[in-house]
Amino acid sequence: MKDTFLWGGSTSAFQFEGGAKEGGKGMSFYDTISANAKAAAENTESWMGSNKTKDYSVTSDFYHHYEEDIQLMAEMGFRAFRMSIAWTRIFPDGDGEINPQGIAFYRNVFSLLKVNHIEPVVTLYHWDMPQSLIDRYHGWYGIETVNAFVRYAETCFREFGEYVRYWLTLNENNMTVMIPAFGTGMKMSKDDPAYESFKYTVYHHTNIAHFAAVKKCHEMIENAQIGCMFASALAYPLTSDPQDVLMARNHNQKLNYDYLDLLTRGRYTPKNTYEMNRAGFWISEEDQDLFADPNAIIDFISFSYYYSVCAGTEQNAADENAGTVQMMYQAMSNPRLKQSSFGWTIDPVGLRILMNDLYDRYQLPVMIVENGLGVKDDVLTEDGKVHDDYRISYLREHIRAVKAAVDEDHVECLGYLPWGCIDLYSASGDREKRYGFIYVDYDDDCRRYRKDSFFWYRNVIATNGKDLV
């Protein structure tokens, strides 16, 4: 592992930041959910589990605890911290007037990270669509939202470019073709004759936003590195039956590589193009030129990895206990792998396989920006301890896989930033499923406690991954 390897952790604004009604912040999609349970039921996709939604207005309250949290990260030796900017903290309505208080807040965060030698890795859009853009343009369905996003991205590059070198555009955007209505405020049945055209309109608009942001970043910030972020969906064939092999191949192509082929080559795959045209959707020459612009091609690939799945002719529905978007994969669990208490398979070798596949295929550096063990097993003892040996065991094996990919397979990897490094809310609003090295007591002013994994990870970083005991 190089001495420059970025050890750290990851969060997102709507799951971690809080301060929803402070500092001039406008209403996002998740603020609407917090304020209106009926809106949650109507606008939240089924995978979100509307029966689980809670109040996102405070979450882990990074807005008021950021100085303490950055000191805790520095104590662990973090070299990088992935976070997202809340679009509505910069533009309360998604467009219109800039909020100077929002600019000041993030400047304070980024400057403090830099003082502590922690590289910010900043996601521009982590699902928290401004409610005003949903109301006026149906979110990404309207090209006006794309224009608003480009202006928002330009503002971030201009205001924060002196602090931020590493940028990510849209979080897990490869999932858009599976849940296109999410964050649009629209109901669209797959049986509707207009569904396919609707799906590709939303997907294409997000891709215009991505390419335009990448190009602007390269033009505006010298030496910036900007990448995508996709939800990995690595599938193995359930058996050696050629039909199972074909199903696994098609699964990986559809959920992983169709998207990455576009972002790295500047054009949709022939199959994607055919499907779009069949749905009555055509790509303009202007958009084709943008996608093909060398300045609009990403510098690295970042991704989330929690588990692998299996594909086979005996396909079954996903585990209903796994309450996240990954339920959408509709795949099978691997009978040869153990599962976490949350029902997710534990497959560190799969992470090594994926890293190799990505690097061999695209010859771009990779960065793991989400990984980790989310469980409801954490217990805060009376003396303020959390004994999470199960998390240490999970992370140890996955870090070993990363090291093997780097040191033995010669994959170029920029960093390892596990998810929820400080406890945060799940996308479904579930605060009891915890990932962090730091426990957040939501019932006691979000007080922070170091878990056993905090001290373990501190030693991993200090030894640059050599000591994993």
Handedness of CA 295, 304, 356, 410 (dihedral sign): positive
| Given 159, 370, 382, 432, the catalytic residue | 370
Active site residue 219: no
Active site residue 45: no
Give me the half-sphere count of Cα atoms (radius 13 Å) on the Cβ side of residue 245.
Answer: 3
**Is 408 buried (19+), middle (13-18) or exposed (0-12) by CB count in 10 A?**
exposed
Tell me, letter by letter, the H, E, C secondary structure of 92-127.
Answer: CCCCCCCCHHHHHHHHHHHHHHHHCCCEEEEEEECC
Round to whole Å and give the CA distance between 111 and 466.
30
Pairing mode, strands 447-450 and 438-441 = antiparallel
| Given 17, 119, 159, 172, the catalytic residue | 172
Cβ atoms of 90 and 17 within 8 Å: the answer is no
Residue 468, phi-psi category: left (phi > 0), alpha (psi -120 to 50), beta (remainder): alpha
Residue 283, phi-psi category: left (phi > 0), alpha (psi -120 to 50), beta (remainder): beta
Q: What single letter denotes the amino acid at residue 175? A: M
168 backbone dihedrals φ, ψ, rounded to 5°: -125, 145
Q: Which residues are catalytic?
A: 172, 370
